[in-house]
Amino acid sequence: MSRTEPAGTPLGDQFHLYDTTLRDGAQREGIAYSVADKLAVARLLDELGVGFIEGGWPGALPKDTEFFARAASGELSLRHAVLVAFGATRRAGLAVAEDPQVRALLDSQAPVVTLVAKSDVRHIERALRVDVAEACAMVRDTVSFLAGEGRRVFVDAEHFFDGYAHDPDTALRVLDAAGSAGADVVVLCDTNGGRLPLGVADTVREVAERTGLRLGIHCQDDTACAVANSVAAVQAGVTHVQCTANGYGERAGNADLFAVAGNLAAKLGMPVLPEGRAAELTRTAHAIAEIANIAPDPHQAYVGSSAFAHKAGLHASAIKVDPLLYNHIDPGVVGNDMRVLVTEMAGRASLELKGAQLGMDLADRPEVLNSALKKVKALEAEGWSFEAADASLELLLRSEADGAPADSPFLLESYRVVLDHRSGGDVVSEATVKVRVGGERVIATAEGNGPVHALDAALRQALRGHLSWLDSVELADYKVRILASTPGTDAVTRVLVESRDGERTWTTVGVHPNIVEASWLALCDALVHKSQRQR
């Protein structure tokens, strides 16, 4: 048997940061982890330094059974965390040693087992269809059996808060059955996610006084309070908190591991992660999102790309004096970065800070800041947006600083795009580009599956052989938005182009009533930006 206590945090076994991404988090709509995915997520969580990783329900789901088998075979070597198998108590009327689900928990070889047990009398009588005495016996027998087999046992008291509010005596009987049989932790579950922080804290304190048991907390996010409820429970005395990465879970989700860990560490001073690992929160959040095939939430607390982004000029003025005046913590503590967004709301301080981030010292050049600010506001009024297009903003700032347009590696003479609807239903776009590059006039024609694709292909064909770095640049993303137009005028199209070269990613913007011209402007800016960086 492997160890049953977490390693690597100053708090050790005194406080449990428990992750259930691979079991409860996998119930989120749209998530379907493969076994390889589950192993990869477990490694990331272990690297971060969580104490317990709930791997799934062996015996109930073949994929989870395989996960534990592969983990036991040596595919999963955990440095900080302890692997946990999740399952149910014995079935009613069946001896615990004869229950195949309980046997599967032992066969998983997980050193810790978490059992789910109903603690609401309504669920006991209507869902389990047994009386309270039998429900408690099911808990008592299963905990005792697993503990006797050398497993450390936690018990999730399902629907506890609702059950305690309805019939506190029955809810406490279930907890007592678990504790008296040898469960190390009884976890109070807000399964329906309907509780609020003050009520959670009051109940936790009351239950702690009445039972003397070690308590944990598990919160769903149906009131958007899962993180707040979890932190309130910790402040009220629980020493075991269950979360999921990025708040993944059924319905509205679970308590977000990264927000809970960030709050406990940064706000309550609890070293719940190994030294230096809090700085890995952002990276881990995004890596797990990639495995789940879910785009990271830019507005996610602590780890979102917008968590420390500032748009208002008033904010930027204060940040220029002291970044912590408008940041609740140093973003670097959780591995994130502060960003200054430049929009029509920007002031000179915003542009000065943005220039500094781009390597331009504009502090002593007020005339550049004033002219750049005037141009940004005028362009934004026409539909341009620079907060997501740092590369276009950099070109604008450098143009204002140099007093001349950015030096382009090519000069457009003309372009033409035609659409060809062929027999059989195929639709092909063809673009012809005439440019001057390297002292030559070059004409190139290319086809594509759309006008922008064809235009990009023709431009690249024209420039190939003149720009040594061209083949390293690829189009990573393309977004189009039709902006609300003023009555009586044509609609305006805004295009964002994201480019990458294997080392970095940058975004450019183009705006025009014609979508092809808007795309051309963004494509050109992307190559001009790369050219300037090359020099």
Residue 357, pLDDT score? 67
Of all residues in the chain, the percent with pLDDT exceeding 70 is 90
What DSSP assignment string belongs to 298-359? TT-TTTSTTTTEE-SHHHHHHHHH-GGGS-SS-GGGGT---EE--STT--HHHHHHHHHHTT
Q: Of 119, 127, 133, nearest to 164 (Cα)?
A: 119
Average pLDDT, integer, range 244-262:
97
Q: Of 45, 46, 85, nearest to 64 (Cα)?
A: 85
Average pLDDT, integer, range 307-327:
57
Eight-class DSSP state of 260:
H
- Domain check: are 450 and 498 in the same one? yes
C-alpha 407/C-alpha 86 separation (Å) is: 62
For residue 208, being part of any structural domain is answered with: yes
**Which pLDDT band holds residue 315 (cuts at 50, 70, 90)?**
very low
Q: Of 309, 299, 491, 496, nearest to 386 (Cα)?
A: 496
Total structural domains within the chain: 3
Residue 483, pLDDT score? 76
Residue 347, pLDDT score? 53
Of all residues in the chain, the percent with pLDDT exceeding 90 is 62
- Give a three-class secondary structure readout of 428-462: EEEEEEEEEECCEEEEEEEEECCHHHHHHHHHHHH
The torsion angles phi and psi of 8, rounded to 5 degrees, stand at 105, -15
What is the distance, to the nearest Å, from the Cα of residue 121 to the centroid of all Cα atoms in its chain? 37
Helix (H, G, I), strand (E, B) or coil at 129: coil
For residue 3, being part of any structural domain is answered with: no
For residue 487, being part of any structural domain is answered with: yes
For residue 405, being part of any structural domain is answered with: no
Q: Answer yes or no: is pLDDT of 312 > 70.
A: no
For residue 34, being part of any structural domain is answered with: yes
- Give a three-class secondary structure readout of 75-86: HCCCCCCEEEEE
Task: Give the domain range for residue 68.
Answer: 16-292
User: Domain of 500: which CATH number?
Assistant: 3.30.160.270
pTM: 0.72
- Domain check: are 245 and 373 in the same one? no
Last residue of a domain, one of 264, 292, 320: 292
C-alpha 198/C-alpha 221 separation (Å) is: 15
Q: Of 86, 28, 15, nearest to 261 (Cα)?
A: 15
- Domain check: are 106 and 227 in the same one? yes
- Domain check: are 360 and 222 in the same one? no
Last residue of a domain, one of 377, 398, 419: 398
User: Domain of 69: which CATH number?
Assistant: 3.20.20.70
Q: Of 434, 39, 23, nearest to 242 (Cα)?
A: 23
Q: Answer yes or no: is pLDDT of 375 > 80.
A: no
For residue 10, being part of any structural domain is answered with: no
Between residues 87 and 328, the one the model is more confident about: 87
Residue 322, pLDDT score? 55
- Tens-place pLDDT, residues 334-345: 887 766 655 444
Least confident piece of the model among 22-31, 136-145, 225-234, 419-428: 419-428
**Which pLDDT band holds residue 384 (cuts at 50, 70, 90)?**
confident
- Domain check: are 186 and 262 in the same one? yes
- Domain check: are 340 and 287 in the same one? no
Least confident piece of the model among 119-128, 132-141, 281-290: 281-290
C-alpha 2/C-alpha 9 separation (Å) is: 18
- Residue 299: CB atoms within 10 Å: 10
- Domain check: are 393 and 351 in the same one? yes
For residue 303, being part of any structural domain is answered with: no
- Domain check: are 26 and 161 in the same one? yes
- Domain check: are 95 and 138 in the same one? yes
- Domain check: are 383 and 483 in the same one? no
**Block residue for tokens 């039709």:** 482
- Sheet of 427-437, strands arranged across: 411-421, 427-437, 440-448
For residue 418, being part of any structural domain is answered with: yes
Least confident piece of the model among 208-222, 301-315, 342-356, 370-384: 342-356
Residue 246, pLDDT score? 97
Q: Answer yes or no: is pLDDT of 29 > 50.
A: yes
Residue 344, pLDDT score? 45
Last residue of a domain, one of 265, 292, 319: 292
Residue 120, pLDDT score? 95
Q: Answer yes or no: is pLDDT of 219 > 90.
A: yes
- Domain check: are 265 and 360 in the same one? no
Residue 459, pLDDT score? 94
- Tens-place pLDDT, residues 43-86: 999 999 999 999 999 999 999 999 999 999 999 999 999 999 99
H helical segments located in 182-225? 197-211
- Domain check: are 43 and 155 in the same one? yes
